[in-house]
């Protein structure tokens, strides 16, 4: 316990710099590229479209919008996001604990599988939930035959539960990865010291482990909250029209009623809320960062022993599989299942197995100009994903390094970095169109606009994954390296990089996943010659017919496979020679 | 040392892969241009549902020494918004996909320039909703209720024949509709009820529908694939607001093949709403001559005959023959509901707001 106190009282990372001028300049230099990127591709386009919108807003509309349009969705947005975040933490934290502390067979695979929900477009999640929990889904089918019911007992679609369940399904991986990764590297000796000094299990957890875990916990909670806060597809598709968030309101006003002025006002309210949240977050974390010597994972992780440990691991594995993996399995199964024979002539539904949907994917049976060969869609998605990883990781490293060094203005800059995640994708998409469709920057014609937009989404995840890891690096390690004659670059490579390599893998996973699954910006900005897998899925789902539905599920299964392989690869990519930290 | 260079080489590899596989970045020739020597490109903006046969476009490209670049720009509302926002420096030469519910908005925004195509002479006046010829009709389709034949047969239930029938107790909880604020078929069905009951009475009807357990979802995909029992999603409601062309699509895209459609449309008087879609030449096009040729191409018989099996709509050009598979399974309403584009434009936001208040809150 004493150890914990001391660490909190004298954070090693915050020791005063020896030469005051140079570090500050270096810190400012680090900020240039990330801020320029955000300025050009986020603030400028968003500002441009908001300006167009707000100019057209009459005083009467201001009042009307603030009184009638905004309060209801504003309240619901906060309500569902808070509830979703709480549930996600509840599900994710036991998982993070188990992933951080225990080795068990199938762990890598399970971890990759739990990330796949993150990339699924909302319509696909709806299809998965429908196959599993819908009126004729497996669960209802089982309940009906066991209990002898005539009506499906479980009603999910168009309830608040559907929204909450979908948000937990999407975001548990954020908690698993960000908190789990941080937890795995906590020095267990501090906890042990507290125990030796007489603290009970609970007290040691509350007074030592929890404070040390706090930065990662807050980071994960903020990311999950912002993700839910701007939720759009889930609300529309699974929640239904009785639920409206600010983002849904913006979409309806901007794209359906073509009322850009009111949409801009709602967007501004949403931005303000996000800014308050990220500002509060930045203040909270700036006071709680603790430097500690990171431990190698092999020192921390053990195989579960005894009934209790095995029980905990088994419960978490089964729980996560049911919640996160079974819908994926339902999708995969749906892609190889067809309804037998003529439905109109038969009294009951019968199923059969088939590979027809996959076979159909590979031929342009309708001679359509817009036929998407699955290999091409996968290649486009992967290339966009890789470009997103490169862009967001290089900028993210700069920003995270700057953030992890002491300096004034950090918390303000930190809250700016998080804004893209908490702002309206619809508005930003329109902004990018308004600003970048004419020379000199005619990005509309460039395939780079898409990974840039994806990087805006990925950026907050990348920064939040890296900062807790960088903040734990004791300054004296770098100083020791410098003392031994290492250049700053070499010190970074030999000290920082090995320690953050694990966090960088987490960051890369999120960046890749954010790009693979993104649909909103993609549908507005993608070059038609380079369609992605989610776009191909939507094309099938926009037409009736068993073949279209089956091909959409087959394409979604391909998306899951490609992303899963990509994530496993990123985890493996860890550089030989760099220690396991 | 080693790790650093590995990361650098990964970055280089990624950039290299990117540069190789995106020929557009370097201004290279697209596939359609390889044959012809000229480098002209015509940009055509469409909504997401646009589709056309590859061969037809290639023919046009070769005949006119041009490459056509299609930009799909979201649903009808998103695409129109994109066109309006980029009016001063247009993204495309031609914009297809405004329908009669958005027509007045598009015309008021002044995105089009007029074009009196010679082919308009072949097209019935009823479709030419813009007398100034800024927006030219291309296709039409009917938004109708679809029903699950098997459900009605199994339950020995008569199929409703009018809007009034839908509020009868035997159809309680059997209908799923889309939210008119977020869905174009949803709006079309709302407009059908406005046309039938009048602007003062339609809300009363919707309140009755609400009491009779009408299910409202946000989009067509959810309504059709999650809620409708006649689709592959196997939902709970045997009636859905969809298109008159959905039953033929169920046959054409069946797996395994079937000889009878599992669903059918209800085409009682005023139960369907006719959507007409338009094309227009955008202000500021760089090649007016080509843009006009392309509009003519869309109104001409080959393109018009291609549309039914691509976009599941009817051609406006009566000289175009509609494929048998399409005709056989499609019911055409004798008396679709109709409202003028001006009336829609003036009242649409209010109707949606009133509807939201009455049905959702």
Delimit the domains of chain A by residue range.
20-332+354-572
Determine the pLDDT at residue B39. 55
Task: For residue range A177-230, list pLDDT tens digits in order.
Answer: 889 988 887 877 778 888 888 888 888 888 888 888 888 899 899 999 999 999
Gyration radius (Cα) of chain A, Å? 25
CA distance, residue A190 to nearest chain B CA (Å): 31
Determine the pLDDT at residue A211. 86
Contacting residues for B271 by C-beta, under 8 A, at least 6 apart: B144, B145, B162, B163, B192, B333, B337
CA distance, residue A6 to nearest chain B CA (Å): 35
Q: Strands B273-282 and B94-99: what pairing? A: antiparallel
Q: Tell me the HSE value of B43 on the side-chain side, using a 13 A CA sphere.
A: 19
| A468's tokens | 């807790």
Q: How many CB pairs lie under 8 A apart between chains A and B? A: 243
Say how far apart CA B273 and CA B336 lie, in whole Å: 5
CA distance, residue A401 to nearest chain B CA (Å): 16
Residue A315 confidence class, pLDDT cut points 50, 70, 90: very high
Which residues of B are less than 8 Å from A549 in CB distance?
225, 231-233
Determine the pLDDT at residue B21. 41
* Range B2-139+275-322 has CATH code 3.40.50.2000: no
Helix locations, B253-320, DSSP H: 288-299, 301-311
Task: For residue range A416-439, list pLDDT tens digits in order.
Answer: 888 998 888 888 888 888 887 766
Delimit the domains of chain B by residue range.
2-139+275-322, 141-274+326-360
Cα–chain-centroid distance for residue A163? Answer: 16
Best mutation site among A544, A553, A556 for testing chain B: the one with the most B CBs within 10 Å? A544
Residue A515 confidence class, pLDDT cut points 50, 70, 90: very high
Task: For residue range B85-125, list pLDDT tens digits in order.
Answer: 888 888 899 999 999 999 988 999 999 999 999 999 999 99
Asked if the model's pLDDT at residue A114 lies above 80, the reply is: yes
Say how far apart CA A199 and CA B321 lie, in whole Å: 85
Of A367, A434, A575, the CB nearest to B53: A367
- What's the fold here for domain B141-274+326-360? D-Maltodextrin-Binding Protein; domain 2 (3.40.190)
CA distance, residue A304 to nearest chain B CA (Å): 33
Question: Which B-chain residues 127-186 have CB contacts (< 8 A) with chain A?
Answer: 149-150, 154, 179, 181-182
Closest residue on chain A to B230 (Cα):
A343
Determine the pLDDT at residue A349. 56
CA distance, residue B99 to nearest chain A CA (Å): 13
Closest residue on chain A to B148 (Cα):
A344
Question: Which B-chain residues 243-272 have CB contacts (< 8 A) with chain A?
Answer: 246, 249-256, 258-262
Q: What is the DSSP string of A544-580?
A: -SHHHHHHHHHHHHHHHHHHHHHHHHHHHTPPTTS--
Of A136, A370, A389, the CB nearest to B51: A370
Question: CB A246: neighbour CB atoms within 10 A?
Answer: 26
Cα–chain-centroid distance for residue A523? Answer: 19
Q: What is the SS3 assignment for B25? A: helix
Say how far apart CA A95 and CA A345 lie, in whole Å: 48
pLDDT in single tens digits along all 361 residues of chain B = 344 444 444 444 444 444 334 333 333 333 333 333 345 889 999 998 899 999 999 999 999 999 999 988 878 888 898 888 888 888 899 999 999 999 988 999 999 999 999 999 999 999 999 999 999 999 999 999 999 999 999 999 999 999 999 999 999 999 999 999 888 999 999 999 999 999 999 999 999 999 999 999 988 988 998 899 988 877 889 999 999 999 999 999 988 888 889 999 999 999 999 999 999 999 999 899 999 999 999 999 999 999 999 999 999 999 999 999 889 989 999 999 989 999 999 999 899 999 999 998 8
What value, to the nearest 5°, has the Cα angle with vertex A103 and ends A101 and A108?
A: 110
pTM for the model stands at 0.85
| B216 lies within 8 A of chain A by CB | yes
Say how far apart CA B308 and CA A13 lie, in whole Å: 68
Task: For residue range B251-281, list pLDDT tens digits in order.
Answer: 999 888 888 899 999 999 999 999 999 999 9
Determine the pLDDT at residue A439. 60
Contact criterion met (CB below 8 Å) for B127 and B306: no
DSSP B140: E
| B312's tokens | 């599941």
Task: For residue range A355-383, list pLDDT tens digits in order.
Answer: 888 988 888 888 888 888 899 999 999 99
Q: What is the SS3 assignment for B226? A: helix
Q: For residue B99, what are the β-bridge partners?
A: B277
Q: What integer best gives the mean pLDDT of chain A?
A: 83
Helix locations, A17-106, DSSP H: 21-38, 44-55, 59-64, 71-101
CA distance, residue A197 to nearest chain B CA (Å): 42
Query: Phi and psi for A189 in degrees, rounded to 5?
Result: -70, -25
Determine the pLDDT at residue B20. 39
Contact criterion met (CB below 8 Å) for A295 and A188: yes
Which residues of B are less than 8 Å from A48 in CB distance?
none
Cα–chain-centroid distance for residue A542? Answer: 26
Cα–chain-centroid distance for residue A273? Answer: 20
Core vs surface per residue A123-140: b (16+ CB within 10 A) or e: bbbbbbbbbbbbbbbebb
| B48 lies within 8 A of chain A by CB | yes
Closest residue on chain A to B69 (Cα):
A528
Distances, alpha carbon A290 to alpha carbons A6, A66, A187, A529, B136, in Å? 10, 42, 12, 49, 67
Best mutation site among B256, B260, B305, B357 for testing chain A: the one with the most A CBs within 10 Å? B256
Which residues of B are less than 8 Å from A236 in CB distance?
182, 218-219
Q: What is the CATH number of domain A20-332+354-572?
A: 1.10.3720.10
Asked if the model's pLDDT at residue A272 lies above 90, the reply is: yes
């Amino acid at each position: 316990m004493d150890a914990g106190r001391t660490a909190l009282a004298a954070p090693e990372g915050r020791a005063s710099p020896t030469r005051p001028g140079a570090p500050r300049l270096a810190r400012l230099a680090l900020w240039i590229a990330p801020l320029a990127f955000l300025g050009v591709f986020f603030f400028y386009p968003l500002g441009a479209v908001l300006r167009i919108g707000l100019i057209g807003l009459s005083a009467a509309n201001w009042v009307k919008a603030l009184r009638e349009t905004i309060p209801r969705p504003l309240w619901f947005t906060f309500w569902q996001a808070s509830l979703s975040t709480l549930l996600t933490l509840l599900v994710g934290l036991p998982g993070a604990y188990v992933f951080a502390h225990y080795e068990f067979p199938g762990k890598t695979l399970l971890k990759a599988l739990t990330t796949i929900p993150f990339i699924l477009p909302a319509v696909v999640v709806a299809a998965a939930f429908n196959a599993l929990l819908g009126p004729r889904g497996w669960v209802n089918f089982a309940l009906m035959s066991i209990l002898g019911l005539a009506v499906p007992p479980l009603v999910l679609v168009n309830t608040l539960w559907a929204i909450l369940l979908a948000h937990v399904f999407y975001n548990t991986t954020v908690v698993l990865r960000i908190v789990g990764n941080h937890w795995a590297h906590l020095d267990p000796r501090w906890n042990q010291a507290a125990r030796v000094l007489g603290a009970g299990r609970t007290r040691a957890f509350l007074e030592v482990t929890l404070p040390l875990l706090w930065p990662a916990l807050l980071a994960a909670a903020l990311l999950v909250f912002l993700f839910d806060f701007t939720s759009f597809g889930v609300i529309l598709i699974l929640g239904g029209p009785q639920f409206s968030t600010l983002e849904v309101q913006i979409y309806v006003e901007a794209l359906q009623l073509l009322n850009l002025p009111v949409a801009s006002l709602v967007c501004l309210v949403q931005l303000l809320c996000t800014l308050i949240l990220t500002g509060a977050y930045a203040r909270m974390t700036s006071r709680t960062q603790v430097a500690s010597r990171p431990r190698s994972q092999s020192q921390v992780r053990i195989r579960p022993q005894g009934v209790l440990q095995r029980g905990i691991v088994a419960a978490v594995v089964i729980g996560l599989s049911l919640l996160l993996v079974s819908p994926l399995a339902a999708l995969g199964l749906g892609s190889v299942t067809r309804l037998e024979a003529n439905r109109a002539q038969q009294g009951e539904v019968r199923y059969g197995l088939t590979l027809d949907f996959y076979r159909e994917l590979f031929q342009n049976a309708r001679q359509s100009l817009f036929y998407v060969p699955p290999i091409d869609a996968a290649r486009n998605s992967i290339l966009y994903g890789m470009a997103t990883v490169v862009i967001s990781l290089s900028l993210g490293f700069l920003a995270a390094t700057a953030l992890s060094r002491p300096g004034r203005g950090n918390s303000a800059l930190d809250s700016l970095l998080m804004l893209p995640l908490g702002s309206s994708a619809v508005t930003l998409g329109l902004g990018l169109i308004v600003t970048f469709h004419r020379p000199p920057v005619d990005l509309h014609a460039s395939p780079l606009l898409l990974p840039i937009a994806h990087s805006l989404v990925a950026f907050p995840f990348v920064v939040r994954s890296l900062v807790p890891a960088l903040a734990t690096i004791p300054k004296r390690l770098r100083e020791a390296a410098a003392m031994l004659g290492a250049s700053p670059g070499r010190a970074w490579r030999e000290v920082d990089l090995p320690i953050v390599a694990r966090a960088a893998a987490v960051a890369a996973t999120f960046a890749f996943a954010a790009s693979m699954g993104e649909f909103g910006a993609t549908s507005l900005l993608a070059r038609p010659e380079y369609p992605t897998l989610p776009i191909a899925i939507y094309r099938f789902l926009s037409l009736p017919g068993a073949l279209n539905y089956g091909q959409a599920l087959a394409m979604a299964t391909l998306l899951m496979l490609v992303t899963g392989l990509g994530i496993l690869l990123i985890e493996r990519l860890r550089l030989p020679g760099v220690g396991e930290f | 040392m080693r790790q650093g260079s590995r990361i650098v080489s990964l970055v280089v590899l990624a950039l290299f892969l990117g540069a190789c596989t995106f020929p557009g970045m370097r201004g290279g020739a697209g596939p359609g241009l390889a044959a012809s020597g000229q480098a002209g490109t015509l940009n055509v903006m469409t909504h997401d549902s646009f589709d056309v046969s590859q061969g037809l476009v290639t023919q046009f490209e070769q005949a006119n020494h041009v490459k056509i670049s299609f930009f799909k720009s979201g649903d009808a509302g998103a695409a129109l918004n994109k066109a309006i926002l980029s009016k001063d420096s247009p993204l495309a030469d031609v914009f297809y996909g405004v329908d009669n519910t958005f027509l007045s908005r598009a015309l008021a925004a002044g995105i089009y320039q007029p074009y009196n195509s010679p082919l308009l002479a072949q097209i019935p006046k009823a479709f030419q909703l813009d007398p100034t010829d800024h927006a030219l009709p291309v296709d039409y389709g009917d938004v109708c209720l679809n029903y699950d034949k098997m459900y009605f047969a199994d339950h020995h239930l008569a199929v409703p024949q009018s809007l009034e029938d839908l509020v009868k107790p035997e159809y309680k909880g059997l209908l799923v509709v889309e939210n008119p604020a977020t869905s174009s078929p949803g709006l079309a069905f709302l407009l059908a009820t406005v046309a039938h009951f009048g602007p003062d009475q339609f809300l009363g009807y919707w309140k009755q529908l609400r009491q009779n357990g009408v299910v409202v979802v946000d989009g067509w995909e959810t309504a059709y694939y999650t809620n409708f029992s006649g689709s592959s999603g196997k939902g709970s409601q045997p009636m859905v607001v969809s298109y008159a062309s959905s039953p033929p699509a169920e046959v054409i895209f069946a797996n395994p093949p079937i000889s009878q459609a599992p669903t059918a449309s209800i085409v009682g008087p005023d139960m369907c709403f006719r959507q007409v879609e338009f094309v227009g030449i955008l202000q500021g096009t760089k090649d007016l001559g080509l843009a006009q040729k392309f509009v003519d191409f869309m109104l001409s018989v080959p393109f018009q005959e291609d549309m039914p099996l691509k976009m599941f709509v009817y051609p406006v050009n009566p000289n175009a023959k509609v494929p048998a598979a399409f005709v056989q399974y499609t019911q055409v309403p004798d008396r679709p509901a109709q409202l003028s584009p001006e009336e829609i434009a003036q009242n649409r936001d209010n109707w949606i707001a009133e509807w939201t208040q009455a049905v959702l809150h």
